[in-house]
């Protein structure tokens, strides 16, 4: 057994000792989007610092706990906050929690993030359903040893973001009157926000939204054959689109403003996705 597989198994054993639930649906909540974890019924809260080998979230707006409970009767595992490459973690460490969720039994993973709009037609407060991504983070979390127990060395990323889950999300947005956009997410390292020239480049490459997460985790999830839905909450216009400087306080404020709409949409997505999990 590889060291990575051993660490994953130790974390899974610990999480399993804290709850009898075995969810097949998992969620990762981005900056300012942690309210969904607080809406779960009969939650078991496990701080990341208590889980063996788990990286600790340090970014503002990331609570740093795994919450396992039910949403409308459906068992779910929710990561309230994530870690990022810019916090000093390796990409392998960044994806460790996703690997734990996959080994724990999660088969459908809903990834959320706060993102800046590269597309001038998308606006703060809207949701973008991710159709594809561009990895501009300078590496791949699967470089190095490949634990065969986690997945094949080479695997397809053509449908990294599941079209059927995207259809479910679109219907949920329509049901609750939430504007749903579709587009390509580009992941950059941060923590500095992008320059206007970098955003111009991202737009030329076909990106619609930009952020500092999600891409490594989706790669690891697909490595384990998890089905993935990606949702970007557009929280600001990217550099060069506005005279206002990009401010993390604005990111968190927009997350708070769309909280109820996101709660409604995620609840509906889980209800429908559970029928496919």
Q: Which of 59, 79, 87, 202 is catalytic?
A: 87
Question: Is 140 among the residues known to form the active site?
Answer: no
Provide the percentage of residues in the chain whose pLDDT is more than 70.
Answer: 96
Q: Which of 39, 53, 146, 248 is catalytic?
A: 248
Question: Is 114 among the residues known to form the active site?
Answer: yes
Q: Which of 31, 117, 119, 268 is catalytic?
A: 31
pLDDT in tens, 141-188: 999 989 889 999 999 999 999 999 999 999 999 999 999 999 999 999
Q: Which of 80, 117, 213, 232 is catalytic?
A: 213
Please report how the helices 163-175 and 259-273 are oriented relative to each other, as an axis angle in degrees rounded to 10: 130
More confident residue, 107 or 238: 107
Rounded to an integer, the average pLDDT of 223-237 is 95
Q: Which of 84, 85, 223, 241 is catalytic?
A: 84
Closest to 233 in 3D by CA, of 255, 253, 214, 216: 255
Question: Is 87 among the residues known to form the active site?
Answer: yes
Q: Which of 11, 79, 207, 212 is catalytic?
A: 212
- Report pLDDT for 8: 97
Q: Which of 37, 77, 114, 274 is catalytic?
A: 114
Task: Give 11's pLDDT tier (boundaries 50, 70, 90).
Answer: very high
- Report pLDDT for 243: 65
Inter-CA distances, 276 with 103, 129, 164, 272, Å: 19, 19, 9, 7
Question: Is 59 among the residues known to form the active site?
Answer: no
Residue ranges of the domains in the chain?
Answer: 3-273
Q: Which of 117, 119, 236, 268 is catalytic?
A: 236
- Tokens 């216009």 belong to residue: 237
pLDDT in tens, 58-69: 876 668 899 999
Question: Is 241 among the residues known to form the active site?
Answer: no
Distance CA 202, CA 186 (A): 7
Inter-CA distances, 47 with 52, 57, 76, 159, 188, Å: 11, 10, 16, 33, 27
Question: Is 232 among the residues known to form the active site?
Answer: no
- Report pLDDT for 159: 95
Question: Is 192 among the residues known to form the active site?
Answer: no
Closest to 262 in 3D by CA, of 236, 227, 235, 237: 235
Question: Is 236 among the residues known to form the active site?
Answer: yes
Distance CA 52, CA 12 (A): 9
pLDDT in tens, 69-100: 999 999 999 999 899 999 999 999 999 999 99
Catalogue the E-assigned strands of the chain. Answer: 25-29, 41-47, 65-71, 74-80, 108-117, 127-135, 180-187, 209-211, 227-237
Task: Give 209's pLDDT tier (boundaries 50, 70, 90).
Answer: very high
- Tokens 């490595």 belong to residue: 223
Tell me the CATH class for 3-273. Answer: alpha beta
> Are the CB atoms for 135 and 222 separated by under 8 Å?
no
Distance CA 92, CA 126 (A): 31
Residue 194 scores a pLDDT above 90: yes
Q: Which of 5, 86, 123, 253 is catalytic?
A: 86
Rounded to an integer, the average pLDDT of 230-249 is 80
- Report pLDDT for 258: 78
Question: Is 146 among the residues known to form the active site?
Answer: no
pLDDT in tens, 15-74: 999 999 999 999 999 876 778 999 999 999 999 999 999 999 887 666 889 999 999 999
Question: Is 248 among the residues known to form the active site?
Answer: yes
């Amino acid at each position: 057994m590889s060291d990575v597989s051993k660490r994953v198994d130790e974390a899974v054993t610990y999480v399993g000792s804290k709850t009898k639930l075995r969810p097949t649906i998992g969620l990762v909540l981005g900056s300012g989007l942690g309210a969904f974890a607080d809406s779960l019924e009969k939650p078991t809260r496990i701080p990341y610092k208590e889980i063996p080998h788990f990286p600790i979230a340090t970014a503002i707006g990331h609570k740093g706990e795994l919450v396992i409970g039910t949403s409308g009767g459906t068992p779910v595992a929710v990561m309230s906050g994530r870690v990022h490459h810019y916090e000093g973690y390796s990409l392998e460490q960044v994806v460790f929690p996703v690997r734990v969720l996959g080994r724990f039994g999660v088969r459908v993973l809903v990834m959320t993030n706060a993102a800046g709009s590269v597309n001038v037609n998308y606006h703060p407060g809207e949701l973008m359903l991710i159709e594809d991504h561009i990895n501009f983070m300078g590496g791949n979390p699967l470089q190095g040893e490949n634990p065969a127990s986690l997945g094949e060395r080479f695997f397809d990323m053509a449908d990294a973001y599941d079209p059927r889950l995207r259809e479910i999300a679109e219907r949920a947005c329509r049901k609750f009157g939430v504007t749903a956009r579709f587009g390509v997410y580009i992941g950059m390292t941060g923590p500095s926000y992008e320059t206007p020239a970098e955003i111009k480049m991202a737009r030329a490459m076909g990106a619609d939204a930009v952020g500092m997460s999600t891409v490594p985790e989706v790669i690891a999830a697909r490595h384990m054959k998890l089905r993935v839905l990606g949702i970007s909450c557009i929280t600001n216009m990217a550099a060069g689109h506005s005279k206002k400087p990009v401010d993390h306080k604005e990111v968190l404020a927009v997350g708070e403003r769309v909280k109820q709409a996101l709660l409604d949409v995620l609840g509906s997505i889980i209800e429908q996705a559970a029928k496919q999990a």
